[in-house]
Amino acid sequence: MAYLALYRAWRPQRFKEVVGQEKTVTALRNAIKEGRLTHAYLFSGPRGTGKTSIAKIIAKAVNCENIGEGEPCNVCSSCIDINNGNFMDVIEIDAASNRGIDEIRDLREKVRVLPAQGKKKVYIIDEVHMLTTEAFNALLKTLEEPPDSVIFILATTESQKIPDTIRSRCQSYNFRRLTGPEILERLQQVATSDNIELDKEAGQLIARRANGGLRDALSTLDQIYSYKGKTIKKEDVLDVLGLVDELFLARLLEKILGQDTAGIIEMLSTALGEGKEAQQLARETALYLRDLLLYMVMGDETEFLVVTAAAKPLLEEQKSKIDRNQLLQALRLMMDTADKLRISEGNRFILEVAFLQMTQIFSSETPVVQPTRQEARTTRVQAGSKRKPDAREVLWNHLLAGVKEKKIPTHALLSQGKLLGARDDVLYIGYKKGYRFHKERMEEKDNRELVEAVARDILKRNVEIEFVFLDDEQYNDIIVKKAIEYFGEDIVEIKD
């Protein structure tokens, strides 16, 4: 299917067509009407919110042959050439490229040259925060003594990186994120005009995911259109973006609140099996928890990111069951997990263990099994505030409990060890040198297989167990470092 490049086709050509940014639009349009444009502007704001589009409208307005009401006509030769990018006096510079930096260097001489084709030269400098110090200085010199026939429009997504010396010579406009309804309205307008049947829920989902950027929303629509054709439903959006259904998330939280660990692991397994990314699952869960938390605080004022009417009844129910502090803890955990997964891509363990950890957060304070004496000691050291269970501990407790159920002697041997962490499909359990006997017994076939079976029950897939000596330098270096990498600094204690 042909690629429409909707966001290009739908670049606003006059102020009237700009979505949102009312204050900026009104101020600039009036300045044009009254001939009060200044020589330098700084447009800052998030991606895809109209900075370059408005810069181009200004460029047309100052060169247009039939300007009316502060709007360019879009039919005169100047307007047409500017729209096609063929106008010599509108110069776009991408400050992020090497060429851009060279162009800034030559700027001081070039700006002196009078417009060749139109009335004013307009320099649009995009991503201006990317300039080197040297280039900023060159630009500053030019801004200090600007020729009358030149207008500079600097655009940036990171205004805090613009030196004050530059900022103070510009008139600044902050572009804001567009709201969900604003984006939805434009999406529907685009869809109607291109004969795309865009379901309302599908449109809402795209709008919410665009995070205030209209370009992203239009690109997403494009992408879904090119996979799915002219009829777009909510499922198509979920599918193409690899998102999880909100009802899935709601049910997952049900299982977490119900302490149904087997059910959780199964749901995760299904989602991963369908090709969802571990990181996406963590992220979506975090967004769902975020929606729930805001709903508890703000009620119907909430601007939901994932929840729509479909999941609202479940959300309502969960709201009354959940403790706000626990929810906040769980949200942090999921955000951290998503972050971790971004770095070490696709590690299932991180995801699974984070969810087990979440059940712990929502359970009462009692750990799954009584702590061993050794663990009790550690707990006392960290006494004081209520300790939040860490990922390793949760998995370890599940393992110990499972083994204990099956064979008490094995449990006695295992409980002298320590779960260090996981790497791919291997769990590492460490023993101090003095526990050689325990380690060697555990390495025997029966015991090892028992632990592996329990781990398989918990994680719903095959894992291997490797027993190592904690004091072994070699392992300390490699495994423990890995464990820290995967589970976070706080949970790996080797020297006690």
> What pairing do the DSSP bridges indicate for beta strands 418-423 and 150-156?
unpaired
Q: Which does 79 bind (CB under 5 to 8 A by kind): ligand ATP, Zn ion, Mg ion, none?
A: Zn ion
**Shortest distance (Å) from residue 94 CB to ligand ATP:** 10
CB nearer to Zn ion: give 73 or 257: 73
CB nearer to Mg ion: give 125 or 454: 125
Cβ atoms of 443 and 480 within 8 Å: the answer is no
Q: Does 241 bind Zn ion (CB under 5 A)?
A: no
Total of residues contacting Zn ion (CB under 5 A): 5
- Reduced to 3 states (helix: H, G, I; strand: E, B; else coil), residue 250 is helix
Q: Within 13 Å of residue 479, how many CA atoms lie on the same side as its CB?
A: 25
Binding residues among 79-118 for Zn ion as defined by CB under 5 A:
79
Name the H helices within 312-347.
312-321, 324-343
Render 99-140 in DSSP notation, one character per residue: HHHHHHHTHHHHTTSPPSSSS-EEEEEETGGG--HHHHHHHH
Cβ atoms of 315 and 293 within 8 Å: the answer is no
Q: Which of 33, 46, 52, 312 binds Mg ion (CB under 5 A)?
A: 52
CB nearer to ligand ATP: give 43 or 428: 43
Q: Which does 73 bind (CB under 5 to 8 A by kind): ligand ATP, Mg ion, Zn ion, none?
A: Zn ion
d(Cα 48, Cα 45) in Å, to the nearest integer? 9
**Shortest distance (Å) from residue 43 CB to Mg ion:** 8
Instruction: Produce one character per residue of 433-466: b if its CB has 16 or more CB atoms within 10 Å, e if not.
Output: eebeebbebbeeeebbebbeebbeebbbeebebe
d(Cα 317, Cα 319) in Å, to the nearest integer? 5
Binding residues among 36-65 for Zn ion as defined by CB under 5 A:
64
**Shortest distance (Å) from residue 80 CB to ligand ATP:** 17
Q: Does 188 bind Mg ion (CB under 5 A)?
A: no
Q: Does 219 bind Mg ion (CB under 5 A)?
A: no
**Shortest distance (Å) from residue 125 CB to ligand ATP:** 11
Binding residues among 158-217 for Zn ion as defined by CB under 5 A:
none
CB nearer to ligand ATP: give 157 or 359: 157
**Shortest distance (Å) from residue 365 CB to Mg ion:** 52
Q: Which of 4, 73, 240, 241 binds Zn ion (CB under 5 A)?
A: 73
d(Cα 449, Cα 130) in Å, to the nearest integer? 57
Binding residues vs ligand ATP (CB under 6 A): 7-8, 10-12, 18-21, 47-53, 126, 155, 157, 214-215, 218
d(Cα 311, Cα 281) in Å, to the nearest integer? 17
**Shortest distance (Å) from residue 127 CB to Mg ion:** 8
CB nearer to ligand ATP: give 218 or 468: 218
Look up residue 435 and give its two tokens: 């526990």
- State the residues that interact with Zn ion by CB under 5 A: 64, 72-73, 76, 79
